Amino acid sequence: MNMTLKDKIIIVTGASKGIGAGIANELALAGATVLLCARNSDQLNAVKENIEKEGGIAYAFPLDITSVAEITRVFKTIFDQFGKIDVLINNAGLGFNHAALDVEESDWDAMMDVNLKGLFFCAQQAGKYMIEKGYGRIINMSSQASLVAIKDHAVYCASKGGVNALTKVLALEWADKGITVNGISPTFTYTPGTAERLDSPDYLAGVLQRIPVGKVAAIADITTAIRYLIGPNSGMVTGSNLVIDGGWTIQ
């Protein structure tokens, strides 16, 4: 194990599967103590056991980020137990899509409640404790969909555009408090959840037509970006949005 993140306390939301589980695993193997948050305890415990099997340190904290009361309670428990929060990876998100004319009020509310409201209040609660310690790193999971239009993704694009706006405001408010806030914007990323679509040659060909480097992102591409943004020499980088899209949005 390469222990460059030893003694770092890192919260990862949406850590029960997909990108969040992968990031948590890779950060734990770099020595961090990783606090896994998502709704499903069984899935969280499976990710935790996996990390422990490989020699990493992880704890599971069941949390539904649509409840501000739950976020407040869980982040306080974490701060009381670990004495600090060094890093928040604000990753939990929903990504279903509909043609604009088919979007129902409940679709709008479900996606905004997680992608925007939940993300904001996780940042707020982590920020509160980071300010107390004079240090913190917050990474907000955005998407290439925050920068360009994608058909049938009106609500998702709006929610991720909102994430970019929040990233800049929080970065500005907390810049003189030792806290940086940055976003990352991946393109299609291969996970167990997206594999179903990306394993279909026709679907993959359609996606790759838009990605000049000719491949989708891997979770390791995302973790590498995160390791830079939480690393020792990136304190001047705040309010940015690191795009990991193989060139999708430059066209």
Nearer to ligand NAD by Cβ, of 70 and 86: the residue is 70
Nearer to ligand NAD by Cβ, of 171 and 211: the residue is 211
Q: Give CA–CA dist 101/193, Å, rounded.
A: 26
Taking CB under 6 A as the criterion, the residue among 27, 85, 92, 130 binding ligand NAD is 92
Taking CB under 6 A as the criterion, the residue among 55, 193, 206, 247 binding ligand NAD is 193
- Report the site for ligand NAD in 221-240 (rule: CB under 6 A): none
Is residue 14 involved in binding ligand NAD (CB under 6 A)? yes
User: Nearest approach, Cβ of 157 to ligand NAD (angstroms)?
Assistant: 11
Taking CB under 6 A as the criterion, the residue among 5, 9, 10, 20 binding ligand NAD is 20
Q: Give CA–CA dist 138/157, Å, rounded.
A: 21
User: Nearest approach, Cβ of 113 to ligand NAD (angstroms)?
Assistant: 7
User: Nearest approach, Cβ of 95 to ligand NAD (angstroms)?
Assistant: 5
CB atoms under 10 Å from CB of 184, counted, come to: 23
User: Nearest approach, Cβ of 155 to ligand NAD (angstroms)?
Assistant: 12
User: Nearest approach, Cβ of 3 to ligand NAD (angstroms)?
Assistant: 26
CB 75 within 8 A of CB 138: no
Which of the residues 156, 190, 203, 228 is marked catalytic?
156
Nearer to ligand NAD by Cβ, of 57 and 218: the residue is 218
- Report the site for ligand NAD in 131-190 (rule: CB under 6 A): 141, 143, 186, 188-189
Is residue 129 involved in binding ligand NAD (CB under 6 A)? no
For residue 182, which of 167, 172, 166, 161 has the smallest C-alpha distance? 167
Confirm whether 129 is a catalytic residue. no
Nearer to ligand NAD by Cβ, of 13 and 240: the residue is 13
Active-site residues: which are they? 156
